[in-house]
Amino acid sequence: MADKVKRTPAKLSKLVEDFDMEIVCRGSDYDQRTVSISDMNRPALQLVGFYDYFEPKRLQVFGKSEMTFLKAMKLEERRRVFDNLLRCEIPALIIARNMEIFPELLEIARKHGRTLLRSELNTVELTSQIIDYLNRALAPQITRHGVLMNINGQGVLLLGESGIGKSETAIELLKRGHRLVADDAVEIRRVSDSLYGTAPELIRHYIEIRGIGVIDVRRLFGMSAVKDEAEIDMVMNYGAARGGAWDVVEKEIRAVVESAHKYGALVKVIFEISQLSLEQVAKATEVSIRAGADFVKTSTGFNGHGATPEAVQVMLDTAKGRCKVKPSGGIRDFATAKMYVEMGASRLGTGYTSCKPICDGEGQGEGAY
d(Cα 323, Cα 319) in Å, to the nearest integer?
A: 6
CB 306 within 8 A of CB 331: yes
Longest CA pairwise span in the chain (Å) = 81
Rounded to two decimals, the pTM is: 0.56
Residue 225: which pLDDT band, with cuts at 50, 70 and 90? low
- Gap between the Cα atoms of 49 and 284, Å rounded: 63
Distance CA 83, CA 105 (A): 8
Catalytic residues: 145, 166, 184, 254
Distance CA 233, CA 228 (A): 16
pLDDT (tens digit, 9 = 90+) per residue, 290-342? 999 989 999 876 677 889 999 999 999 999 999 999 998 888 888 888 899 99
The C-alpha atoms of residue 287 and residue 5 are separated, in whole angstroms, by 27
Question: What are the Cα distances from residue 68, in Å, to 47, 62, 74, 195?
Answer: 12, 10, 12, 42
Instruction: With cut-offs at 50, 70 and 90, classify the pLDDT of residue 362.
Output: low
pLDDT value at residue 369 = 36
SS3 annotation, 71-123: HCCCHHHHHHHHHHHHCCCCCCEEECCCCCCCHHHHHHHHHHCCCEEECCCCH
* High-pLDDT (> 90) share of the chain, %: 48
By DSSP bridging, strand 213-216 and strand 206-209 are antiparallel
The full set of domains in the chain, from first to last, is: 10-137 (3.40.1390.20), 141-360 (3.40.50.300)
Sign of dihedral through CA atoms 80, 84, 85, 87? positive
Nearest to 306 by CA among 365, 239, 241: 365
